[in-house]
Amino acid sequence: MQFVKYHGTGNDFILIDDRDGQFPAQDYARVAALCHRRFGIGADGLILLQPAAEPRYAFHMAYYNADGRPSTFCGNGGRCTVSFAAELGLVAAGAAVDFTAADGPHQATYHSPAQVELVMRPAQAPKAVVLADGRQGFFLDTGSPHLILPVDAVAEVEVVPQGRQYRHDAQFAAIGGVNVNFLERVGARHLHVRTYERGVEDETLSCGTGVTAAALWAAPGHTVRVDTPGGTLQVSSSADLGQVVLAGPAQRVYQGTF
């Protein structure tokens, strides 16, 4: 079976053209093995490009975390899927394309591997939460659930131990835990974000839905630059969070077979 490896600002994915339905999508152990960085291809997640249920959509994106389990929406993964669809001839450069994912329909525009714009689903206003240790954070769902924790210096944060602690906070148990984002405000519309992702159970170099959540908390109604360890993304939103766009690179790394 052939695959292609893509990354969006260091958030990397195995992409497979599964329009013929040949991939064993229920074999979660196989997915986890492929994502393993020592014994497999290695990735933060695996994405199947499948036929959409309705003809008005170009394709369906089925996303699996590195632990092998189906997950909620992935923003960088969505942009990489659009870039992969362009490679397959399903998307024309500069034209909008509609597709479906775990959280419903999306629209995207592929300009080049350096710039793919993805319309995220509308979001609710951030909700203040108090964690088990008394720390205050903010919860948003941007297709995946996210916890925002403002910090003074994100480079000094011990992301893995702190992220693992808050990811399992009891108030998020009903939704399978939460992704944890540590946010440093560099300027009014410039952020630096590091993310601990559930399902990967580690810090990732970038998280599209996490970057989106951080920007919507910090500067709703504006265009925000967000720096991550893997690169820079841009989030634009309306003041009511009804229109949200995530933009940045979605680049092909290599192809292979397994």
What is the tens place of the pLDDT at every residue in 34-60? 999 999 999 999 999 999 999 999 999
State the Cα–Cα distance between residues 218 and 196, nearest whole angstrom.
Answer: 19
Q: What does the domain layout of the chain look like in residue ranges?
A: 2-118+250-257, 127-242
The residues, any chain, with a CB within 8 Å of residue 223's CB and separated by 6 or more, are 189, 234, 235, 236
Contact criterion met (CB below 8 Å) for 29 and 37: no
pLDDT for 188 = 94
pLDDT for 258 = 93
Point out which residues pair with 38 in neighbouring strands: none
CATH number of 127-242: 3.10.310.10
State the Cα–Cα distance between residues 195 and 166, nearest whole angstrom.
Answer: 12
Q: Write the class of the CATH domain 2-118+250-257.
A: alpha beta
State the Cα–Cα distance between residues 179 and 256, nearest whole angstrom.
Answer: 31
Q: Which two tokens stand for residue 247?
A: 């933009």
* pTM, entire model: 0.96
Residues 47, 48, 66, 74: which is the catalytic one? 74
Reduce the DSSP state of residue 239 to 3 states and report it. Answer: coil
pLDDT for 33 = 98
pLDDT for 227 = 98
Residue 250's pLDDT band (cuts 50, 70, 90): very high
Residue 110's pLDDT band (cuts 50, 70, 90): very high
2-118+250-257 and 127-242: identical CATH topology: yes
Catalytic, 35? Answer no
Q: How many CB atoms neighbour CB 185 within 10 A?
A: 16
Contact criterion met (CB below 8 Å) for 197 and 208: no
Q: Which residue has the tokens 């591997």?
A: 113
Residues 207, 218, 226, 233: which is the catalytic one? 207
Helix-strand-coil split of the chain, %, nearest 5: 20, 40, 40
What is the tens place of the pLDDT at every residue in 148-206? 999 999 999 999 999 999 999 999 999 999 999 999 999 999 999 999 999 999 999 99
Buried b / exposed e across 217-245, counting CB within 10 Å, b at 16+?
bbbbeeebbbbbbbbebbbebeeebeebb
Question: Please, what is the average pLDDT of the chain?
Answer: 97
